[in-house]
Amino acid sequence: MFGVLGFGSIGIWLALSAWVAWCAGRLVKPIWLKVIVIVMLGPLLFVAPVGDELISKFQFERYCKEAEEVKIYGTIPVGEDFYTADGKWKLADTSLPMEERNRIQAELNSIIRWEIGKDAGVPAVIPIHYHETKVFEVKAGRLLSTHRIYGTRGGLISRSVFERASFFVKPQCLPRLLREGYIEQAILPFNGSVGGAK
């Protein structure tokens, strides 16, 4: 749907921006100033509707760098309940039978607990929000790690027209450890001498 409608809208806006710049340039007397007004005003008018998103792209990327950090406060060394004998995380093995995966996941849930905080906004030109996730040891209630996930729906035009997509800003930033599925392994490191996680 965006194909024809989107490119048609962009074409119309480009023509309108060029026309307004041309009309503004005609009001200026010296020819050199007329050229400067047309050349500068046309592109400025064209990008004005997404200007908030262009500015916020740099703000969001700064928050994305912050989102890369996973703070580890404590670990619980585990053995072959969660790892193979050679130290490979069992839940990463897609060939593992579903019953075994469910058993390991239930055991994992008995050791660590994830707590996802409420969304909060950050200072930016466009709405940028984040939530902080904390991982606790179930038995002792000890905080093991924290990380943040940032998200945005883009600038005014992106939010109004496309609802979920944005032109220049990716919708979400999360830590590499979370993207790659290694947070549990960082919190529950392998120790072959541990008889089990229980």
pLDDT digits (tens, 9 = 90+) for 85-133: 888 999 988 898 999 999 999 999 999 999 999 999 887 777 888 999 9
Domain-located, residue 25: no
Domain-located, residue 149: yes
Pairing of strands 172-173, 143-152: antiparallel
- Domain with 63 in it: 52-187
Domain-located, residue 123: yes
Domain total for the chain?
1
The DSSP call for residue 117 is: P
Domain-located, residue 20: no
Where is mean pLDDT largest: 82-96, 131-145, 162-176? Answer: 131-145
pTM over 0.75: no
Where is mean pLDDT largest: 2-6, 156-160, 182-186? Answer: 182-186
Q: Which amino acid is at 193?
A: S
Residue whose entry in the numeric block shows the structure tokens 């010296």: 30
Domain-located, residue 103: yes
